Amino acid sequence: MTEQLRLMAVHAHPDDESSKGAATMASYVARGVDVLVATCTGGERGSILNPKLQGDPWIEENIHEVRAKEMEAAREILGVKQSWLGFVDSGLPEGDPLPPLPEGCFALQPLETAVEPLVRLIREFRPHVMTTYDENGGYPHPDHIMTHTISMAAFEAAGDPDAYPGTGDPWQPLKLYYNQGISLERIKALDAAMKERGLESPYAEWIARWDESDRKPREITTKVPCGEYFELRDRALLAHATQIDPDGPWFRIPLEIQRSVWPTEDYELARSLVDTSLPEDDLFAGITADVVHV
C-alpha cells in the first residue's frame, strides 16, 4: 500500500469524537493513517454537565467559544485533524409534550443544505473509510439522528459526478461504519469484572434500564484493538471540561480492567464497496492496493 489511508469520523457535537471511537482514531494515527473529525455543530445548546463549572456566567455567555477551544485541545491530544460543518446545535428537547426545535438548527435543515458541506469535505479529504451513528443516533438526540442521515446521503452522493456540482471532484469512500461502543455485552462484561474484584460498578441502573426496555442489541461486526490508547481517549474526553464530570461514571472503571476485559472499540459495518470477511479487527479490512483510489 503506497497511498496513505484516510479515515473520516462524522460527529454531531464537540466531545462526541472523544466519547465514541477516540482510541480507535488515536491508534490509526499512530499507524500513519490520516484521520479527520467532521463536527456538524458547535454544541452551542449543550448543557454544562461538569458540576464544577455550572453557574459560571462567562462560560454560559461564551459557550460556543469555550467548546471550540475544548475541541482544539482534544484534537491535539488525539493527533487528528478536525473541521466544522458550521451548523447550529439543535439542543435536546425535554418535556411532555416535547417543545419544538429551535428555528434554523441543524436538525431542521433541508437535507440538501445539510448534506452539501459534508460532500464537499469528503471530496476534499478523500476518506477511504467513514464512521458515523446508526439510524437511532446512538441515542435519540435530534442532531445525532441528523448526523446519521447526512452521513448516509453524503456517502452515496460524494462519488456521483452529477451530485452537488461545484463541491469538488467526485470521491467514493469504500466503507462506512456505525459506532457501537456502548453495547450491552460490553457493559455487562465490565460490570461483572468490577463485582468480581469487589469494586462498585457504575452500571447497575444502566443495565436495569436496558433490560426493562425493548432495545435490541446491534450487530457488532468489527472490533478494533486499541486498549493502549484508552488513556489518550480519556484525556481527550476530559479536555471537554464543560461536558464531562471528571468524578463521573465515565472514569470509574480502572483502565487495567478495561484493557483486560474489553480492549477494543466496536463497530457495525453498514456499507462496504470492497470484499471483506466478518468479523473484522480493522476498519480498513479489504481495502487493498488494487481498490484504493490513486
* Binding-site residue ranges for Zn(2+): 13, 16, 144
Would you call 7 helix, strand, or coil by DSSP?
Answer: strand
Candidates 246, 280, 288, 247; CA nearest to 264 is 280
Q: Which three cell numbers stand for residue 185?
A: 455485552
Strand order in the sheet with 34-41: 81-87, 34-41, 6-11, 129-132, 175-179, 264-272, 222-225
Q: How far apart are CA 107 and CA 90, in angstroms?
A: 6
Local structure of residue 271 (DSSP, 8 states): E
Alpha-carbon distance of 257 to 38, in angstroms, equals: 31
State the binding site.
13, 16, 144
The DSSP letter of residue 227 is G
Distance CA 111, CA 159 (A): 18
Distance CA 118, CA 85 (A): 7
What is the enclosing helix (H) or strand (E) of 54?
A: none
Q: How is residue 228 written as a grid cell?
A: 493502549
Give percent helix, percent strand, percent coil of the chain, each to the nearest 5. 40, 15, 45
Q: How far is 266 from 190, CA to CA, in rounded Å?
A: 15
User: Alpha-carbon dihedral of residues 136, 137, 140, 142, nearest 10 degrees?
Assistant: -120
